[in-house]
Chain A
Amino acid sequence: MRMLKWAGVAALALTVGGTAQAEKIKIGVVLPFSGANADLGHQVDKAFDLYIKLHAKDIAPHTIEIVKRDEGPPTGANAKTVATELITNDKVQILTGFVFSPSAIALAPVVTQAKVPMVIANAGTAWITNLSPYIARLSFSMWHHGYPMGAYAFDKIGCKTAALAYTDFPPGKDSTEAFKTGFEKAGGKVTESIPLGSPVQVPDFTPFFQRIKDSKPDCMYVFIPSGAHATGVTKAYGELGMRKAGIKLIGPMDLIPDNKLQDMGDAAIGTIVMGNYAVDLDNAENKAFNAAWHKEYGANSYPDFMSAAGWDTMHAIFDTIKKLNGNVTDGAKFIDAMKGWKTKSPRGDVMIDPDTRDIVQDEHAMEVIRKPDGKLGVKVLGTTKAVKDECKVLKLGRCGT
């Protein structure tokens, strides 16, 4: 299963028999396919495969060949080795995937040296796009959710004071920093900021939250890695009766991962998150995307924000191939052609910022509700249009270099 060849597309290309020369474009996909993080890789990979299956005819007479490799653990070293080999050994013309920031960071000098475009489908550390002119990102940075949430929480949710709690690793620090910047700018006051330990194990959140409960802020902004942590947060929040005490639970959308939401129960209802995607988003593109997904992967499989970003990533790559008429050997030209790319995506309006090569997208404030069918879902409260990565706008720390 190392290579997926789209032979049908080749056949189609022959029958069409266009005048343009049919190019075969090799794309290297680097995603975590093994170990504890395999789930993440598969959510992106399914979106890639689905897009290619449905849209391969769009780039005819050109065809693509996908070479998949395992990203491995988030050390940087493994991803760098396999991606370098995709360039030197498999001669891929485009690299994509990359769930973990260290992978993208480690690889940046390599793609600069090799002049191969690297289109990121997830890795969220804000300053990654500054590391190489050959990098473009279709997903988000932690600032995309955190920063607009600051203003929204103060203006719309009614948080005058907020306590921050975060898992102590880069995305957690970035997310809380982003929220704090936006929140203080709007006039809010951060009462305290509590690290919740390493991402490796899920701690008992009760002592941390008890401390916050005692200090009585209006809101509690929590960042934890999307996954098992999320259920723990809602559980502790519910058991301590914090909502009754008047402390609202807010955060980025990692707080309510789609595949964990149903396990959270009533404690989750009323939680307000900021994010770029939810299955329940009401737009035509998202409905079509969900329908195609269910048709391919069954009624019980749902896309998530990573799949939506994966879908858009392949979309951008395909559009760029079309724009260049299959002539993608020049990496610099490829990235240039990608700048300013925009579309209506399942996430809303998205665009690649010509200056930073990072995504500009809509951010939705979403509240957890119980839907008429008894399941938990989200309701969009409001949308902030065209959100840029504010860290790079404000040139904070490494984002400024």
Chain B
Amino acid sequence: MAANDPTGAQSAIVTPVRDAAATAARDRAAEYLVSRHRFRWAEALPWLACIAVFFLFPDRLTFGSQVLVMVLFALSLDLILGYAGIVTLGQAAFFGIGAYTVGLGAARLGWTEPVSGLFAAFFVAALAGFISGWFLLRYRGLTLLMLTLATAIMMQEAGNLGSEFSGGYDGLPGLVFDPLLGRFEYDLYGRTNYVYALVVLAVVFYFVRRIVYSPFGQALTGIRENVRRMHAIGSPVHWRLVTVYTIAAGIAGVAGALFTQTNAYVTLTVFDFENSAKVMVMLILGGTGRLYGAFLGAAVYMIMEDYFSKLSPTFWQFGIGLLLVLAVLFARRGVLGLFEQFGAYFTKEKSKGAKP
């Protein structure tokens, strides 16, 4: 039969081989994806460090909780900038919306329960993200950059226009929140706030980790790398982007809410351009598109800022500037990228040494 029908024979022989190869490739891909999702021991390090800080620096916890809030905020940006490739300068809009949801809730409505406040902030900010994202994500690049920036400015101006209600740039003073879970009072040393912020960060982090390694997360990476290809294979690109933008807005809202709750105060400066820009710098410093980049970037930036500003209250910004220039020159993929490079360098050395 084979000799009589060469074409048929060829297909008969080739087809199963191709199937086997495809299956193997598919298995390898699946194995790769699953392995990415698997918990690695190195991942425990930042969390252990956070717990260690609580015991080692008991008088620095007010600052510590500010760092954790910024990590959470940077994480929300990583989700859209690092994974979905949405370049935005308006993330402070959602941070601010979350901050004012709990702020106004406590000051005007007497909603002083902190944990439910976080959920409210998530939903209000997510709703704002959904509406603005639905309009704005039709655009990309510079247009999107300007439009997101304008969103944050519009929120700020709206707040200033209604300053009788919002408190304007003088803010909402003396916000009092209920003790956490009805039991833990907020102490001067910031212990309660630190643990509160850490737990919220851990929960949100787990949530983001699940999203990033899900098929949905893979689709986002696809959109970032090649949006035409994703259109071609029939992926609903716009809705994928709107979805992730909405989730990231919600998370930024939670970060803003935590900011208000840990400071017991909020002003319209949360909508500042500086706030959006700073969080992007932090993320780039740490490394975009890797979960712990947000963690490392925000922590490194804020600790350096704190250290330099103590060293010289006048000239500390020079130190930060130098750090950023060095990062751009030598650590293009952020501090995490630098670690990876070092790792790769040593493994190469080892394999070279083993060969002869």
CA distance A87 to B60 in the complex (A): 11
B265, A34: Cβ atoms closer than 8 Å: no
Determine the chain B residues whose CB is within 8 A of the CB of A77 once the complex forms: 66, 259, 263, 265
Residue B236 interfacial (CB < 8 Å): no
A173, B163: Cβ atoms closer than 8 Å: yes
A85, B313: Cβ atoms closer than 8 Å: no
CA distance A73 to B170 in the complex (A): 13
Residue B312 interfacial (CB < 8 Å): yes
CA distance A173 to B161 in the complex (A): 12
Q: What are 21 sample pairs from A and B whose C-beta atoms fall under 8 A apart? A: A2-B310, A2-B313, A33-B313, A68-B313, A73-B272, A73-B274, A74-B267, A75-B272, A76-B266, A76-B269, A77-B263, A80-B265, A84-B188, A89-B59, A89-B60, A102-B265, A105-B265, A170-B163, A170-B168, A170-B169, A170-B170
B173, A108: Cβ atoms closer than 8 Å: yes
Residue B189 interfacial (CB < 8 Å): yes
Given contacts A110-B188, A125-B170, A168-B160, contact A76 B314 (CB under 8 A): no
Residue A169 interfacial (CB < 8 Å): yes
Residue B289 interfacial (CB < 8 Å): no
Q: Which residues of B contact A (CB under 8 A)?
A: 59-60, 62-63, 66, 157, 160, 163, 168-171, 173-174, 188-190, 259, 263-267, 269-270, 272, 274, 309-317
Residue A8 interfacial (CB < 8 Å): no
B269, A109: Cβ atoms closer than 8 Å: no
Per-residue CB contact flags for chain A residues 181-206 toward chain B (1 = under 8 Å, else 0) read 00000000000000000100000000
Within 8 A of B (CB), among A32-89: 33-35, 38, 42, 68-70, 72-77, 80-82, 84-85, 87-89
B269, A74: Cβ atoms closer than 8 Å: yes
B62, A76: Cβ atoms closer than 8 Å: no
Residue A106 interfacial (CB < 8 Å): yes
Determine the chain B residues whose CB is within 8 A of the CB of A228 once the complex forms: none
Q: Measured between C-beta atoms, what is the minimum distance from B255 to chain A in Å? A: 13
Give which listed residue, A84, A85, A105, A113, contacts B171 with CB less than 8 A.
A105
Give which listed residue, B66, B171, B264, B309, contacts A70 with CB less than 8 A.
B309
CA distance A108 to B173 in the complex (A): 9
Given contacts A80-B265, A84-B190, A109-B264, contact A34 B66 (CB under 8 A): no
The 6 lowest CB-CB distance pairs between A and B, nearest first, are A33-B313, A106-B265, A75-B269, A170-B170, A89-B59, A70-B313
**A interface residues, tally (CB under 8 Å):** 41
Given contacts A34-B309, A173-B163, contact A81 B170 (CB under 8 A): no
Complex: chain A residue closest to B265, CB-CB: A106
Complex: chain B residue closest to A169, CB-CB: B169
Residue A114 interfacial (CB < 8 Å): yes
CA distance A198 to B271 in the complex (A): 13
CA distance A110 to B315 in the complex (A): 28
Q: Measured between C-beta atoms, what is the minimum distance from B243 to chain A in Å? A: 31
Count of A-B residue pairs with CB < 8 Å: 107
Give which listed residue, B157, B163, B266, B311, contacts A2 with CB less than 8 A.
B311
Given contacts A85-B63, A88-B188, contact A75 B170 (CB under 8 A): no
CA distance A114 to B157 in the complex (A): 35
A81, B264: Cβ atoms closer than 8 Å: no
Give which listed residue, B59, B265, B313, contacts A76 with CB less than 8 A.
B265
Complex: chain B residue closest to A114, CB-CB: B188
Determine the chain A residues whose CB is within 8 A of the CB of B317 once the complex forms: 34-35
Given contacts A73-B274, A88-B188, contact A34 B269 (CB under 8 A): no
Given contacts A2-B311, A81-B66, A88-B188, contact A34 B170 (CB under 8 A): no
Per-residue CB contact flags for chain A residues 111-143 toward chain B (1 = under 8 Å, else 0) read 001100000000001000001000000000000
A38, B314: Cβ atoms closer than 8 Å: yes
Q: Measured between C-beta atoms, what is the minimum distance from B274 to chain A in Å? A: 7
A105, B263: Cβ atoms closer than 8 Å: no
CA distance A34 to B274 in the complex (A): 15
Complex: chain B residue closest to A198, CB-CB: B160
Determine the chain B residues whose CB is within 8 A of the CB of A2 once the complex forms: 310-313
A102, B314: Cβ atoms closer than 8 Å: no
Given contacts A68-B313, A70-B313, A105-B173, contact A88 B269 (CB under 8 A): no
B171, A76: Cβ atoms closer than 8 Å: yes
CA distance A53 to B2 in the complex (A): 105
Determine the chain B residues whose CB is within 8 A of the CB of A38 once the complex forms: 314
Give which listed residue, A85, A114, A125, A170, contacts B60 with CB less than 8 A.
A85
B269, A101: Cβ atoms closer than 8 Å: no
Give which listed residue, A73, A85, A89, A168, contacts B269 with CB less than 8 A.
A73
Give which listed residue, B66, B160, B173, B313, contacts A169 with CB less than 8 A.
B160
CA distance A249 to B342 in the complex (A): 66
B168, A169: Cβ atoms closer than 8 Å: yes
CA distance A89 to B310 in the complex (A): 13
Residue A1 interfacial (CB < 8 Å): yes
Q: Measured between C-beta atoms, what is the minimum distance from B261 to chain A in Å? A: 12
Given contacts A38-B314, A87-B188, contact A102 B63 (CB under 8 A): no
Given contacts A76-B263, A76-B267, contact A106 B173 (CB under 8 A): yes
Q: Measured between C-beta atoms, what is the minimum distance from B307 to chain A in Å? A: 11
CA distance A75 to B92 in the complex (A): 13
Greatest chain A CB density within 10 A among B173, B188, B190, B269 is at B173
Q: Measured between C-beta atoms, what is the minimum distance from A129 to chain B in Å? A: 12
Determine the chain B residues whose CB is within 8 A of the CB of A105 once the complex forms: 170-171, 173, 265
Q: Measured between C-beta atoms, what is the minimum distance from B320 to chain A in Å? A: 10
Determine the chain A residues whose CB is within 8 A of the CB of B310 once the complex forms: 2, 69
CA distance A286 to B269 in the complex (A): 37
CA distance A87 to B311 in the complex (A): 18
Determine the chain A residues whose CB is within 8 A of the CB of B188 once the complex forms: 84, 87-88, 110, 113-114
B312, A85: Cβ atoms closer than 8 Å: no
Greatest chain A CB density within 10 A among B169, B266, B274, B311 is at B169
Determine the chain B residues whose CB is within 8 A of the CB of A170 once the complex forms: 163, 168-170
Name 13 extra pairs, CB < 8 A, besides A2-B313, A76-B267, A84-B190.
A1-B313, A2-B311, A34-B314, A73-B269, A74-B169, A75-B269, A80-B263, A88-B62, A105-B171, A108-B174, A110-B188, A173-B168, A198-B160
